[in-house]
Structure 1
Amino acid sequence: MHKTFLLSLIAAFTLGWISVNTSHAAEGGSKVLYHVNLGNEQATDALRNINNHLAVDPSAKIVVVTHSKGVDFLLDGAEDENKNPYSGTVAKLAAKGVEFRVCQITLERRKIDPKKLIPEAKLVPSGVVEVTKLQTQGYAYLKP
């Protein structure tokens, strides 16, 4: 009888896991958090990865959370090492549903006026808290 209970319990967990995974697939795509905090080189990698991600999984829900030096690419006039403005790439990704979130604490500590952010960037109180919150909401964590 103890063995039967154990097998039933294993079956219940297995079915529950399958149910969770199929319901996620039915929602349409994955939920992914890209964490950018190291500067423009990392931001360039993240934007390339996100474009590739959406090419394979166009229904993915992607949120980019930035803090520290990671906010720099979302400032008006920011350019990559080849002098290409980030704003165009960010605007195209935002049009595909990608969200860009910026740490307010970083802006305050670095004395950056929030008005210097490009329109697609949205302020959140804390980048690290936002990363944590999204992970508890089932977002997969990626750090380019």
Structure 2
Amino acid sequence: MNRLLTATAALALTATMAFAEGQMHHVAIHVDQNDPAVMNMALNNAQNVASYYKSKGDEVMIEVVTYGPGLNMLIPDQSPVAERIKSMSLELDNIAFAACGNTLNGMQKKAGHDIALMSEAVVVPSGVVRLIELQEQGYAYVRP
């Protein structure tokens, strides 16, 4: 009986210490539509998640993965959310924006010239593969 109480107390102490130190969370947010409402919802989700975990004393890593028509989110002259992305990138050090290299190459081929992305964007070989990799690393998946 004494061992059971000791084990229970140790578990409670471990849980309390983990809470005091904060937990690390990971979320991947998927954007594949050229729709300002979807892009804003994705950014709202990111902001809300960051705020929630900060209020709990936890940390969160957020990666917004764009591909297909959603890549327009990261093209400066076409993005309806460019200013929000710039602002959020300055406010949050835990957010990243991934741009699908396959989509970018296809857009450049169709346009006949290079297409610049926002400085906040990091090109990944494939947006879909990036989402798979993040989920395999334990990231929660959100599609607004």
Counterparts of 1:24 and 1:114, CA distance in 2: 48
Aligned counterpart, 2:51: 55
Amino acid at match of 2:127: G
In structure 2, stretches of 5+ residues that fail to align are: 1-10
**Higher mean C-alpha displacement, 26-35 vs 95-104:** 26-35
CA distance in 1, matches of 2:39, 2:114: 19
Deviations 1:97-141 (A, max 9, x none): 210000010011122666521100010000000000000000000
**Does the aligned pair in 1 maintain the 2:31–2:65 contact within 8 Å?**
yes
The percentage of aligned residue pairs carrying the same residue is: 30
**TM-score, with normalisation over the residues of structure 1?**
0.72
Q: Which of 25, 29, 43 is equivalent to 1:34?
A: 29
Any residues of structure 2 matched to 1:74-85 within 5 Å, and which? 74-80=74-80
**Structure 1 position 29, deviation (Å):** 3.0
Alignment correspondent of 2:3: none
Aligned position for 1:109: 106
- State the match for 1:128 in structure 2: 128
What's the C-alpha RMSD, in Å, of the aligned pairs?
Answer: 2.5
Distance in 1, Cα, partners of 2:19 & 2:100: 29
Change (3 A) 1:126 1:55: same
CA distance in 2, matches of 1:27, 1:119: 31
Cα distance in 1, alignment partners of residues 82 and 43 from structure 2: 11
Matched residue, 1:138 = 138
TM-score, normalisation: structure 2? 0.72
Take 1:39 and 1:106, find their aligned partners in 2: how far apart are those partners? 13
Output the CA distance in 1 between the equivalents of 2:74 and 2:43: 12
CA distances 1:23-82 after superposition (whole Å, capped 9, x unpaired):
7995633100001101233111101111111121132110011100111011012343xx
**Rounded Cα–Cα distance in structure 1 between residues aligned with 2:28 and 2:139:** 6
Unaligned 5+ residue runs, structure 1?
1-14, 81-85
